[in-house]
Amino acid sequence: MLTQVLNPSQIDIAATLLRQGECVAFPTETVYGLGANALDEKAVAKIFRAKGRPADNPLIIHCHSRLQLADLVTGWPPQAEVLMDTFWPGPLTLVLPKQPAVPDIVTGGLNTVALRFPSHPVAISLLQAAGLPIAAPSANISGRPSPTSAQHVLEDMSGKIAAIIDAGPTGGGIESTVLDCTVSPFRILRPGGVTYEELSSLVAVKDTLEGAPPAPGAQYGHYSPVARVVLVTGDRAKAEINRQIDACKAQGMKAALMALTDSRRPDIHFLDMGRDVSVAASRIYHLLRQGDALGLDVIIIEGLPEKGIGRTIMDRLRKAAAIVINT
């Protein structure tokens, strides 16, 4: 299959492909998504084949209007309405009871469905032009770092999908928060772009993943580059990072340090996460992929403070890591 690279002015071509049952990658405010008609089982199956994604891993359905929700869910509690009013469109996915019309392939056989309204203008335009709810996980091979540019999508999906809409790098760089609204209090199934602190200021939220049911993008290993990732956390992290760097040098391994700007070192390749956690959120997947482009053997990552968006970043880095060292 020839994968077309479209620009944002060619939304109509992408919308037609979606209506024809094809897969199209498109930008959201978080990462690039791999979309198909959420109500077409055969189209959704193409997502799983292209990604190599396990069939029991649920997908998120993207919408642009609450009018579409009537076909997808049986209803939602008042507190969910508060969150919709506050965070939609944006990086918050709500898990709600599903309508029978939603295929089991989308929900992993569960009686719930995950929904969100993206805020990226190209995603909104595509949803409006297609006139369909679009099921869309991240547009990468399952287990690889999520794509934050069209080039990342091409690296993984060229020849596997019909088209990619190239609208440049995404802004947020971290996937949406997935929140189960079928329990009380609501439960975070996957931390993401909307933080626990933001959610809990409005509604009762359980800030734990322990014993959580399957959630989109949360069941399997994720975000791993080819290079071995060593994540170092704790009060003595810098000393342990020095030991890890020395060990890599002694073994002749090509290594890099990935950390915030103020931890830069001149004696090792440096993958700059930026000046603070908000910048780091937009860079981590790009940097993990850059490590592979550089042919690195090891990426040593200095952990970040686990509050706000830092907690989300650390969730992703732990999933990417082959080794986690707590000092």
- The CATH-assigned architecture of domain 4-206 is Alpha-Beta Complex (3.90)
* Mean pLDDT within 216-220: 52
Asked whether the beta carbons of 24 and 17 are under 8 A apart, the reply is: yes
Does residue 220 carry a pLDDT above 80?
Answer: no
Could you give the percent of the chain with pLDDT greater than 90?
Answer: 91
Does residue 12 carry a pLDDT above 80?
Answer: yes
- In the chain, what are the domain boundaries? 4-206, 228-326
- Top-level class of domain 228-326: alpha beta
| Cα Rg, the chain, nearest whole Å | 20
pLDDT in tens, 136-192: 999 999 999 999 999 999 999 999 999 999 999 998 889 999 999 999 999 999 999
Tell me which H or E stretch contains 258: strand 255-259
Question: For residue 228, how many C-alpha atoms fall within 13 Å in the half-sphere facing its CB?
Answer: 12
Could you give the percent of the chain with pLDDT greater than 70?
Answer: 95
* Mean pLDDT within 179-207: 96
pTM of the model: 0.93
Dist. CA 19–CA 16, nearest whole Å:
5
Q: Which of 173, 167, 140 is nearest to 47 (CA)?
A: 140
Name the residue with tokens 């993984």: 156
